[in-house]
Amino acid sequence: MDLNNILTFIAVATLLVISPGPNGFLIAKTVPVSGRKAGFANICGFVVAFYVHGTLSILGISMLLVKSSQAFFIFKMLGAAYLVWIGLKAIISAFQHNQTQPKVTRENNKIVSLRVAFLEGLITNVLNPKVSMFYLAAFPQFMPNTESPISAYALVTAHSMVNFVWFAIMVMVLSKVKKVTNSAKFKTWLNSITGLVFIAFGLKLALMKNG
């Protein structure tokens, strides 16, 4: 594969990764409560989801989302419902903290396991038609039809590496400011903001049109 194509693809993938989206807000919600390892579990979920979308694109299955309006509608509504559900959970958690003003402990912070953190990262990206659309739009531009699947997975790997580096930095920064992020007021504020943002992303996804 041409080096210029790879570098251009990385540039496009970087813009996608660093733009505000559900992934960044999920990391911001996870790390202050559940710690650095849970944040990296989120990231691992992101990466696995990229390979799922990449594989579906290579096999041509993702084209159903473009060609079938019914399939696209069902898929996007599942993703929207999941994002809204995460948002509502965060807002309920913020409201409960605000009402009771609890002492911040391991128990009432509802620390998620690494497995749950991984699944949250995975599902957030698997049920996101925009990720699939990115692969459908990027592959034809950066990978000639004569290329083997190995070249396609090279692009997925490049995207995954950019994603890992960016969010790993975010995880490390958040884990270094524990005095701020461990306060009850901060967690209430963070859960409120992230909850509203996830609901907004869910509604935006629900209203997104096919093509």
Rounded Cα–Cα distance for residues 83 and 198 (Å)? 5
Give the separation between CA 143 and CA 105, rounded to whole angstroms: 51
Task: Give the pTM.
Answer: 0.72
Mind listing the pLDDT tens digit for each residue in 13-28?
Answer: 888 788 778 888 899 8
- Whole-angstrom distance, CA of residue 103 vs CA of residue 100: 9
Q: Which residues contact 55 (CB under 8 A, 6 or more apart)?
A: none
pLDDT digits (tens, 9 = 90+) for 130-159: 777 777 766 666 765 555 677 778 888 999
- Rounded Cα gap, residues 32 and 178, in angstroms: 7
